[in-house]
Structure 1
C-alpha cells in the first residue's frame, strides 16, 4: 500500500484504486482504497476513500464459483445448450456438445459461420422457424424435428425458453437440444411391433387373449368371442376365464407351470363355451411381469383342437376296425375251409354207407367210417376254436366301445360302410 501511494504521486499510469486486506476481529477485511492526487499548499497530496468490500467480494467470489460450476455442468452435458439473442437469433454461446451433434467446431456457431437452423431437415425447416418465431410470446415451448449432420438424419428434441432481465425485457432465448435418434427409432420399432401384433391379434383364426392373474379378460379378439359364444367383445371383457373350464383344476395346474417356467406351450385343456358345449383346446401363453418379477397379466393363444382330436379318434377307430376285420377274416376263412372240408367228408361218408348197404367189405367200410368221423371231429375242433376267438374279439370290442345293441338291419349297416368306400354288392 505504501509503495502504491508513493508511486501514485509521481505517475498517472497506475489505477486510481487498490484493494488490500486489513486485519480485524473475526477475520481479515477486504478494503478498497480509492486515491485521487490533489494539490495542498503548493504540494501534491493524496485524497483517499476507504470502503469495506468484504461482503461484495464474497458475493462476487460465490458468483464466480457458481459460474464455474455451471460452466462445468454445461461442458459435461450431452445435450446441446445454445443461448441466442432476442432479435435475429444470433448465437451468443454454445456448449461443446454441439460439436458432437452437428459435426462442426463450436466456435463456428458463435462466429456466425454456422447456425443450428442450417442443419434442420428441409422438410421440417418451416415448422422449426415457426417454433423459434413463437418463442418470445410463448416463453416456453418444445418441438421434435430432424436435422442432417454428416450426411445422416438425426432426430432432436428442442426445448426453448425465454430469459428475462431485471427490467422485464428479454435478455436472451436459451435452447436445450437433445439427440433422440435412438429413442425415436426404438419407439417407432415398438409402434411397428405393436401394429404387427395387433394385426395378428385381430386376424388370427385362433382365440388371442390377455387376462389378469385373477382370470378377468383384459383383451380378446373376435375369434375368441366366437369360440366362447359371447354376444360381443364387451360381454367377454366382463367375464372370467375360470367360468369356461370344464375342470377348474386344469387351470390351477396350468398356472403352476406358467409361474414356474414363465410360459406354457400347447397345453391341452377342456373348455366349454357359454352354452356349456365342451371344446378341447391347446393353450399357449406367457407371463408378463414387472421389474420385480410380479405377474401383471398373461397373454397367449387358444387353438381349437376339437375337430383335430375327433379326426384322430376316427383314424384310430378306423385302424382298429381294419385290424379287427383282418383278424376276423382270418378265422372266418378258417371256418369256411372247415365247412368245405366237412362237406367233402360227409359226401364220402354217404358213399361208404351206400357201399356198405350193397354188401361191401365190412371191415374196410368200418375203418373208412372211423377215419371220416375223426376227420370231422378235427374240423369241428377248428370251428370251435375259431368261434371262441371271434367271440373273444367281439366281447372286447363291445366292452371297449360300450356297445349297445341297436335294431340295425343288414341293409343299414351296408349303407354306413358304403359311405366309407365299400363297393360290394348288397
Structure 2
C-alpha cells in the first residue's frame, strides 16, 4: 500500500458538498481537511474542478462465474465495474452450479479473491429445497438471501408457499426478492404466442411481464415480510403501482426497503423500437409514466437504493427472436454516468445520487467501513468530471459481451479515476488489472 493525497476535490458526502483534500494511507482515508499539503504522500492527484464521490456499491449484479463464463467472468465484469466508478458489488446466485449452499458460496469467494478488481460479496440463493441451508447461514457469510419469487433465469423459482413462509420466518439476515408472478406471465405468453407465433415483438415484453404480474408478487412479498417481521429488500421495481407498497422516510426506520435500477430510470417502452432485445430484461422496461414514478420515488425516499442488475449476454444470444433472446443487460460501466445524467437534467441532486448508490447500501446491508468518505474508512472513491463527456463505444467496453444498451449515447460526465481500498483501479481510460478488491465485511 502507498500513500495518496487528493487535493482540491469537490467532495460529495453525507448530504454536503465541500472542497477538501483527502489523504489516504494504507488503503484507508487517514485525514480529511481544507489543506493537507504537508502530508507525506507517494502521489498527489490534483482534483481541482472535479467531484469526489464514495464509490458506488452495486447491490445486484450477475457476473456469470462459474458456469456461464462465455457471457462474462468475475475478472472482466469487475474491470467494467471499476471503469464505471463501482468499487463494490453483491453478486447473484444464478450461476452454474447455483449458489445455494455453503460450498458454492465459498467457491465464489475464493474465485473473487484471485480475480476481482472491486470489493465483493455474494448472495446465498433460495430454492424449494434448501431451507435448512438458509436457516444455518452465518449472517456475515453472505450479503443476503436472494429469493426469485418469479421465474427469471436459472432454476431458482421458489413457488412452494410453505417454503416461502419458512424463508421469511427463519432468514438469519436480509431477504432480497425478484418479484414477478409466474402463472400470470405464462398466461400472457400463451396469449401473445397465439397472436404472433414465436416471433413476438419485443415491445410486447412489458405487456407479458406486466404491471399486474409485478404487483401481485411484490405485494405478496411485502405481506410476508410484515407477517414475519422480516428484513426485506425488494429489487428492481418497475411500476408506478408498486410504489404504494412502500413508505417514505429515513432508512433506519424501515424494515422493508426498495431498489430501482439504472436502466429502468433511463429507458421506457418507447425505446423498444430502436433497441429491441438490447433492452429486454426482467422485470421489463415499462411506460414513461412508470419511469417518472420511479424517479419521483427516489427523490421522495420511497425507493432507497439504485443498482444495476448487470446481466451480460453475448451479442449473438441477443439476436434471437422473443423467446430465444435472453433477458438482461450489461450496465456496470455506465451506471454512475447514467445517474449523473439525471443530475444534468435537474432530476437528482449529487447528494441524492450518493445517498442512493453508496450511503444507503452500506447502511441497509450493515457494511463495515465502506460507503462514506470518512476518516478510518476504506478509500473506495470515484472521481468524476461533470463537464467531460463519455461516448459509449463498443471498442472501449470491458464487459466480456462487448456491447452496451447505451451504445452510441454521449453522457455529459465521465469517470476520471476509481480507487479501491486506496489503490487506483481505473484512471485516464485504463483499468489497472493488478488491483484486487477485498471481501466485504458486515457488522451484523
* Higher relative contact order, chain-length normalized (CA < 8 Å, sep 6+): 2
Instruction: Flag whether TM exceeds 0.5 (same fold).
Output: no
TM-score, structure 2 as length reference: 0.17
Higher strand share: 1
Say which one has the larger Rg: 1
Higher helix share: 1
TM-score, structure 1 as length reference: 0.18
